[in-house]
Amino acid sequence: MKVDSNTVLYGLIGHPVSHSISPLIHNLSFEYFNINSIYTVFDVTPENLENAVKGLKSLGIKGINVTVPHKENVIKYLDYISEEAKLIGAVNTIINSDGILKGYNTDYMGFLESISENNEVLKERDILLIGAGGAAKAILIALAKNDVNSITILNRDVQKAEVLAKTLEKDFNLKIEVYPLQDAEKLNNIDMIINATSVGMAPDFEKSPVSENVVKKANFVYDVIYNPEKTILLKYAERNNIKYQNGFSMVINQAYHSFKLWTGKNFDKNLVYKHIQK
Ligand code: NDP
């Protein structure tokens, strides 16, 4: 990789960011297209978020991904928000267009394409979504727009999930049931389980958001987590012969759409999959 005075900078802001595979994905693709750009990570604490976003303009950083915990708070510092990001209430991709900061959400498309790459469909499915944070919001919009049969949300903070459900019921013609996480055992009519919490990821990698009994009721289990590759939730699915998928293809697909927004180019997903697996 050649870095010189014309190299254009891209990156990720979050806290923490050291585990991210985004630099691998984007730097490989810049090299592939012979684009003189590099992608790196910036560990930005919440109190430094405003200064970091202002810094994008003054340093001329062309594009930024945003991750936990900044996806929602970053919105107030941007000049334009896409319709999708507005609906979701979270931004994961920023374009710096000559000093105008534009926010998008590519987690939504990342999730949808990840589901179809695994030959699953959302239409007419009964979904149990666990979580009510940024990832859950993007997934909820994808579910609402794809004619699922029913949506049940489980979350530790049940009030947060209720607020989210009410907003969505208003925006789409939907009925969403909401329960606290500890009520999971009481639920029936579960077809697809989607974990959109961080339970299963370090430091919680020995935990599952729901028990094996709950998993046994499902036909397909999806975990947004991709590190570890197989969370306890997915291990429950595996040992009960239930089809499952982790969030690896979601992260590749969200990166695909961020890269396209920044460069106008479609990177080769297969090349990226192979490179990262290696
Ligand atoms: P947020 O911080 O916005 O939300 C976190 C969610 O996890 C909330 O629902 C929270 O519940 C729940 N949670 C956290 N800790 C616990 C716990 N100990 N017990 C029960 N519930 C808990 O994060 P995001 O939504 O942005 O990210 C969630 C996960 O999704 C992360 O692991 C992230 O890496 C992954 N992700 C993966 C993507 C991919 O492309 N594969 C894309 C985006 C995210 P509560 O509301 O009660 O606090």
Q: State the 10-residue block means of pLDDT for the chain, 278 residues long.
A: 92 92 96 97 98 96 96 97 94 97 97 96 97 94 94 98 92 91 95 96 90 98 95 98 97 98 97 89
Find the 59 Cα to ligand 1 centroid distance in Å: 31
pTM over the 0.85 mark: yes
Q: What is the pLDDT of residue 203?
A: 79
Q: What is the pLDDT of residue 81?
A: 98
Whole-angstrom distance, CA of residue 111 vs CA of residue 247: 8
pLDDT digits (tens, 9 = 90+) for 46-94: 999 999 999 999 999 999 999 989 999 999 999 999 999 999 999 999 9
Q: What is the dihedral of CA 54, 15, 222, 106, to 10 degrees?
A: 10
Atom of ligand 1 nearest to the CA of 136: 25
Q: What is the pLDDT of residue 171?
A: 83
- Counting Cα atoms < 13 Å in the Cβ hemisphere of 18 gives 2
Bridge partners, 268 (sequence order): none
Residue with tokens 């947060």: 160
- Pocket of ligand 1 contains residue 208 by CB under 6 Å: no
Residue 270 identity: N
Instruction: Supply the residue whose CA is at minimum distance from atom 36 of ligand 1.
Output: 224
The residues carrying an active-site annotation are: 71
- Pocket of ligand 1 contains residue 215 by CB under 6 Å: no
Q: Give the sheet arrangement for strand 243-245, strand by strand.
A: 176-180, 150-155, 126-130, 192-195, 220-223, 243-245
